[in-house]
Chain A
């Protein structure tokens, strides 16, 4: 297999991960975009010379783990390794090469050591803007969604290509922030190159191929062992999600075949002329993610965690959209691949699977600040986390991605809006022996004195987070302007003084509510997470409505 015994392998493996952690931290610290610095909408990965991913920064978005190996392969098809020089940097935001939408820029740098390429460093971040309609789901074709960059040589032997920077700057609303983030990506990959070369020098290595063999083999073996422990079989599951006008059906057939898994999405609704279509790379990413959560959560990410899993889907079903279908809000549908896959896995390992989560909503806001500054920022807010066997769902926790909420004080300062309320949503958690996590309610006023454009990108306004093993569903989401419900994937204008309200859903419960421990019901009532009325209705609570003494 390789010349590495477990002692050396463990040490070198940890070191490679430490290199990607350091790369990621330098990216976060230099980025201009709130999505990156507050919400960690990014990823940093190291590939060996054979284009296999071998280490990933710990705080990377999970979905990119699944898409990145393909990204690197396609980028290097366009610019083959023998044409690359030290200091070159490639970039693309093509949805079918990268992460499924134009907003993510993929930046790749070959790492040279002793005159040849020994590795590649890839970073991905969600840009503050890429032109077009702005981050929204309302485009009918990809051409409306912004600037689509093929695989370009952004930097040639250390010199940034001025034409490309001018071109990008002309096409976006906040050029200083967007170009700043291109530079942040360039800089972090420079850090990765320096660190890897230092590591090679220190260990007297000429490349990392042999250690990569061992890392990939060990990871793949762990996942295959876990899959092999599941009974072979075919497991079907389907969920409904909101689309444009009508609902959509997502269907999975998950097959466990020995030590591998195949997921097929036949039966899934077709693509729409709306930016919520999902390229298959993104679909696969969430299958890989769900399987990893229930099998090998502690194995650091690399290509070995991906190879035992394959996917297929009919062309132009909404989980395998082809160009030129728009994909701007692909996560709005794509994130549901996680609960879809979990639903199939629940038939195999129910105690390891989570009830459905409320998931996050994302509102893209553009306009002018009170002081005239341009505003282009995304507001993330989370619904409740699904419960698991043994633990209540956490309140307001993102799933399956990890987009962090923006603090009220930071948001008000960035946008000039006023947040009047950000509060837990009582009774929104799905009842169960283990209760679903609470959602929240956020109310913000356009106090900028200017009109703001808002694009909503969310679901769960018709289909709630389902419970598991007898647990009940969480409450639905709503998005309101001046108290009137609007479409969760629409684009709207907020006049000065208008009020936007985001009502975030609860997570599903686990196990029958009748089995919930009475003292936990009483505690929920005391702290106001569940009202007395709901506690009586859902849990058979018989306690009083007055002030309940603390323990």
Chain B
């Protein structure tokens, strides 16, 4: 049997077919079809079946990653959504966090809440901060308000958001039951079910977004299911979540907010796989495309998680200018720097790159499509890293003169420096900002990147990865084969998983071990139930418990791995605290704040490799030489090699440029690249870090 993975990205839809017996993969890339994304899915499946000579009946499983939810939130294409909210709290969504994301820019912009004020109805009820029930739920008001919103305002989905429901969701549950009875066609989300964390603005925003995209996701899944059935597909259809696990259609429809950012999550998952195979405990996953660079940390074979993601940022990439979504997601850094990022002289009189991007249209100046502003791609071309003739496998010629002119006009001229120096400044400014972002991200998580490796992919990643690694003192960079479709490959390795999390403050010194066990047991029943629905047998389910802990009274928590009993938690916290913050230990009581439990099924293809044999061709790898700028030796004649002709065990001494279809690797003096047995390009970094 075979499996298919389809990952829909902003520009491309990536598809992979894999033979479950041999691991042999067939890759296909096509343009995304925004009007009906399922067009590209169907076309991609068709192309794979032809290329692989496989019948649709031989497909056991199709795994799907989609940007549908993210796009719907950015473009406001969700449904008309209502909200029932605790009396007195209707405006929490407008009031927001009462925080400016920029102190000096007075022209701030925030996204509008997805539920307008006029579609929110207040309901009499109250739960106390400790979960005690205060005012009873006004059941009549619940039904009347929901009915009015449906009949008078035409809402398709409803979010029920009550105060302190993270501590006790009885009123939310009761209200949901009443609404479902009265209005069986209305889609209902409750804030504690979507994500029971403290802080009403964030939890309610998440619940309203979940409701807002629910009708759309429902329709989309039904539509694609029907079209797949139409071509004879009889296998399982699964959806990828932002935490790197698959879920069934039913779970995806219930918690569509968990589908945000599934593509990058799958990419990070693929990096984690390379770490496992290579026996590397800690690694950095680095993905750089046309508009952004993304980074994730992988520890002991698992990408680190976080529980809040900001979507639909209004002010370019400024943190704080978007809507917070609470969900388990791969803990990713995102930097507004990619191949299309525009370089300019900033107010300080130095080179700034991004977050403005020339995008695909007009694109970098060298694309010759009317772009006049210099981009990172223009700089890399001027530096000799890219070849004007063989870019994207020769599908697209680049205009070197246009790139030089743009850099001269906007950067080199105003600063009074040479074109080449300006190009290097653009290139290196991006390296530095990516390295800084990794540094701060890693240190906040007590992650020692110095003994790690970097896995680099994406169209622009390999041109920058080795120098970034040098700055971080990361000794090794791995460039896997098929890096152009990393996310789709990641989908094929994604296990079934579901994570349950909740806020419940508990002092460690007075913790009752039985209550501890019961709290996790309840979460485990919930998570196992969702996996059982997917047909995963109980004995194949792995359970992982984690706690967010802090000194009592502190506002930020550290994550600690937890067992079935509370033994050893204080020591585990002490070690984590010392590693992240300070050698000074406090004599304060500890408390547990958030409880997290994840149930996972077995990893497909565990311990087995993909086979890319058909991509690799015989012949001499050396294509010639190109003049390229290297900071240590200036303009240098650098050998250019074809990756697809490098055999297992081949060794390339830097400086060198190694080209493949969608990206170009640059290694400097002292760096060495080898091809390992899995056809990875592995670079030993000895590059200097001087600027």
Contact = CB atoms under 8 A, between A and B. Distances in A.
A21 B91 CA distance: 32
B227 interface: no
B105 A297 contact: yes
Given A183-B586, A396-B96, A398-B99, A299 B129 contact: no
Given A7-B425, A10-B350, A30-B554, A528 B588 contact: no
Nearest to A370: B130
Given A7-B351, A222-B348, A405 B433 contact: no
Given A186-B584, A300-B348, A410-B199, A25 B440 contact: yes
A527 B96 contact: no
B95 interface: yes
A187 B425 CA distance: 35
A526 B118 contact: yes
Interface string A26-70: 101111101011101000000000000000000110100000000
Nearest to A7: B425
Interface string B159-179: 000011010000000000000
Interface stretch (A418-426, A469-477, A537-545): A418-426
A6 interface: yes
Given A186-B584, A388-B106, A423-B88, A397 B556 contact: no
Given A14-B433, A300-B348, A413 B586 contact: no
Contacts of A527: 116-118
11 contacts: A7-B351, A7-B422, A14-B432, A31-B554, A180-B554, A180-B588, A187-B584, A190-B583, A221-B349, A388-B106, A409-B129
Nearest to B557: A29
A18 B440 CA distance: 7
Contact of A298 (B104, B106, B117, B425): B104
B691 A397 contact: no
B350 A395 contact: no
A9 interface: yes
Contact of B436 (A18, A408, A422): A18
A404 interface: yes
Q: Which 3 A-B pairs have the closest CB atoms?
A: A10-B350, A37-B555, A405-B98
B551 interface: yes
Interface in A436-484: 438, 440, 443
Contacts of B512: none
B99 A409 contact: no
A424 B94 contact: yes
Interface string B181-200: 00000000000000000111
A547 B116 CA distance: 14
Given A11-B429, A550-B118, 11 more contacts: A6-B345, A6-B415, A6-B417, A7-B417, A14-B432, A191-B582, A203-B690, A297-B106, A388-B106, A395-B96, A407-B198
A107 B607 CA distance: 52
Interface in B334-364: 345-352
A28 B116 contact: no
Contacts of A327: none
Interface in B91-131: 91-92, 94-100, 102-110, 116-118, 126, 128-130
A97 to B, nearest CB: 24
B104, B109, B153, B166, most chain A CB atoms within 10 A: B104
Given A6-B415, A18-B440, A404 B99 contact: yes
A168 interface: no
Given A187-B584, A398-B100, A7 B199 contact: no
Given A6-B415, A382-B98, A37 B554 contact: yes
A14 B433 CA distance: 8
A324 interface: no
A421 B107 CA distance: 29
A186 B350 CA distance: 33
A402 B100 CA distance: 6
Given A21-B440, A397-B108, A186 B582 contact: yes
A190 B422 CA distance: 36
Contacts of A187: 581-582, 584
B565 interface: no
Contacts of A382: 98
A10 B104 contact: no
B441 to A, nearest CB: 10
Interface of A: 5-15, 18, 21-22, 25-26, 28-32, 34, 36-38, 40, 59-60, 62, 160, 176-177, 180, 183, 186-187, 190-191, 202-204, 218-219, 221-222, 289, 292-293, 296-300, 354, 380-382, 385, 388, 390-391, 394-399, 402, 404-405, 407-410, 412-413, 416, 418-424, 438, 440, 443, 526-529, 547, 550
B691 A420 contact: no
Contact of B89 (A22, A422, A438): A422
Contacts of A12: 691
B36 interface: no
Nearest to B88: A421
A394 B583 CA distance: 43
B421 interface: yes
Contacts, number: 237
Nearest to A221: B349
Chain B, interface SS category: loop
A443 B89 CA distance: 11
Interface residues of B, number: 81
Query: Chain A CB within 10 Å — which of B95, B440, B690 has the most?
Result: B95
Contacts of A289: 104
B484 to A, nearest CB: 30
B1 to A, nearest CB: 48
- Most chain-B Cβ atoms within 10 A of its Cβ — which of A29, A37, A296, A409? A409
Contacts of A40: 99
A410 to B, nearest CB: 7
B146 to A, nearest CB: 17
B162 to A, nearest CB: 11
A405 B98 CA distance: 5
Contacts of A408: 89, 92, 163, 200
B661 interface: no
Given A14-B433, A397-B108, A398-B99, A409 B200 contact: yes
Given A11-B691, A409-B163, A22 B581 contact: no
Nearest to B471: A202
A28 B80 CA distance: 38
Contacts of A7: 350-351, 417, 421-422, 424-425, 428-429, 691
B553 interface: yes
Contact of A62 (B80, B104, B107, B345): B104
B229 to A, nearest CB: 36
A262 to B, nearest CB: 22
A418 B349 contact: no
A70 B468 CA distance: 38
A29 B593 CA distance: 14
B11 interface: no
Contacts of A30: 554, 556, 581-582
Given A292-B104, A394-B110, A407-B198, A31 B691 contact: no
B152 interface: yes
B669 interface: no
A6 B351 contact: yes
A210 B128 CA distance: 58
B436 A413 contact: no
B236 interface: no
B584 A380 contact: no
A362 B429 CA distance: 42
B299 interface: no
B443 interface: yes
B91 A440 contact: yes
B689 interface: yes
A381 B91 CA distance: 14
A203 B473 CA distance: 12
Nearest to B433: A14
B347 to A, nearest CB: 5
A15 B432 contact: yes
B226 interface: no
